[in-house]
Homo-oligomer: A and B are copies of this chain.
Amino acid sequence: MMEVKSKGQQVSRREEILDKAARLFKQKGYVATTMREIAEQVGMEAASMYNHIRGKEELLEEICARVAETYVNQMNEIESSDLSPIHKLQALIRSHISITTKNIHWISVANNEWRHLPDSSLKSFKKARDTYEDRLAEIIRSGIDCQEVADVHVSITLYTILSSLRWIETWYKPNKSYNARDLEENIVNILMNGLKKSG
């Protein structure tokens, strides 16, 4: 569930097109990327690619929809768990980091290129994002109510948490002086120590 991309021995041509598109959209931006360039990366003729996909817009729609779905599934699972609010918060931050490091191009495209979605899918993407934020705010609020979380301003805290994770998609490169696990541990510790009620 944590993987946005389909994996396994039989990755379909369509999946391969989607993944190469995500890489190019991240690197060059959605607008500047051509179907011809995507085809080159997949190693097929641009014309044959249209057997698998209607066009560039469909690629962006599917990338954004899958990313949104991954976050929502994660939220569903954690929200319905028996964890207390602060442990739900911790699990969400942890999985948010993990989803990002495992799907760095897809997440980057959903975060930065969603404005180019056509109206219909733009609407549902924004709705998914707003609902995710509302549910996260509700977990913070419950944590404050049961005195696990410090008496913080809910919206400021919500945006500070989500924003603090945004650099990962841009700057994180595995195999440097830290791995995905170090990343997760450090950020979770800083945020959770910062949020928990002291005393």
Within 8 Å of chain B (Cβ to Cβ): is A186?
A: yes
Within 8 Å of chain B (Cβ to Cβ): is A193?
A: yes
Supposing A163-B165, A163-B166 touch, asked if A186 and B171 sit within 8 A by C-beta, the answer is no
> Which of B171, B190, B192 meets A195, CB within 8 Å?
B190
Q: Mark A165-188, 1 if CB is under 8 A from B, else 0.
A: 111000100000110001100110
A152 to B192, CA, bound (A): 14
Number of interface residues of A (CB under 8 A): 30
Query: What is the oligomeric copy number?
Result: 2
CB pair A164 B153 closer than 8 Å: no
Within 8 Å of chain B (Cβ to Cβ): is A194?
A: yes
Q: Mark A125-139, 1 if CB is under 8 A from B, else 0.
A: 000000000000000
**Which B residues are in CB contact (< 8 Å) with A159?**
167, 171
Nearest B residue to A155 via CB reads B177
Q: Which residues of A contact B (CB under 8 A)?
A: 150, 152-153, 155-157, 159-167, 171, 177-178, 182-183, 186-187, 189-195, 198
